[in-house]
Structures are given as structure tokens and as C-alpha cells.
């Protein structure tokens, strides 16, 4: 499908793009090529292709659920500015 220069200007206006008149021919060619590719894809017979529920019908490999680091809570709370009963105290932000 070939676009006319007026159509390219109209598309640019709808997209709120400012295109110089010197670039219209390049955009006309590029957009026409894209629309030609879309026409080519639309012409492919997909009647025998079963639709997929999801394009990535794959099972994720999961790691084993095991503890890999030791608990350092006491160490981190010792260097914190303020703690109370195992919680970090922070300054009040909302009055």
C-alpha cells in the first residue's frame, strides 16, 4: 500500500509531529514499506494454526527454596541509629 504525501502530512499532524517538507518523501517510503509488510502478514493463511493461550507457554525453572545467607539482624540493628523491640525507628514524615 503506497501512501501519498498528503496522507503522510495528515498522519504527522494526527501524531503531533512536525516533519520538514524535505523529509516527507523518506517518511512516505518508510511508512509505505511498513504498510506493505502488514499487508503481506495479513495475506498469510493461518486457518490451520492453533491459537496459543500465551506466547510463552513454558514452565519456569525454579531454584530450590533454601536459606543461603545467615541471619544478620542483630548486627544490622546494632549499627542502626534507632531501634526498638527489633524494629527500625525512623523520623516521622507526615504530621
pLDDT truncated to tens, each residue of the chain (95 aa)? Answer: 788 999 999 999 999 999 999 999 999 999 999 999 999 999 999 999 888 777 776 777 888 889 999 999 999 999 999 999 999 999 989 87
pLDDT for the residue 80: 94
Residue 59 vs residues 46, 54, 56, 66, 94: alpha-carbon distances, Å: 26, 12, 9, 20, 45
Query: How many residues are given for the chain?
Result: 95
3-state secondary structure of 88: strand
- Residue 64 carries which DSSP code? -
Question: What pLDDT does residue 83 have?
Answer: 94
The per-residue pLDDT for 49 is: 87
Q: According to the model, what pLDDT value does residue 75 have? A: 94
| pTM, full prediction | 0.50
What pLDDT was estimated at residue 51?
81
Give residue 10's pLDDT. Answer: 94
Amino acid at each position: 500500500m503506497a501512501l501519498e504525501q498528503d496522507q503522510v502530512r495528515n498522519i504527522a499532524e494526527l501524531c503531533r509531529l512536525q516533519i520538514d517538507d524535505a523529509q516527507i518523501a523518506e517518511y512516505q517510503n518508510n511508512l509505505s514499506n511498513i504498510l506493505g509488510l502488514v499487508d503481506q502478514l495479513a495475506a498469510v493463511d493461518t486457518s490451520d494454526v492453533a491459537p496459543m493461550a500465551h506466547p510463552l507457554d513454558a514452565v519456569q525453572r525454579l531454584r530450590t527454596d533454601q536459606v543461603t545467607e545467615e541471619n544478620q539482624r542483630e548486627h544490622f540493628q546494632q549499627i542502626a541509629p534507632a531501634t526498638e523491640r527489633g524494629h527500625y525507628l525512623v523520623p516521622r514524615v507526615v504530621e
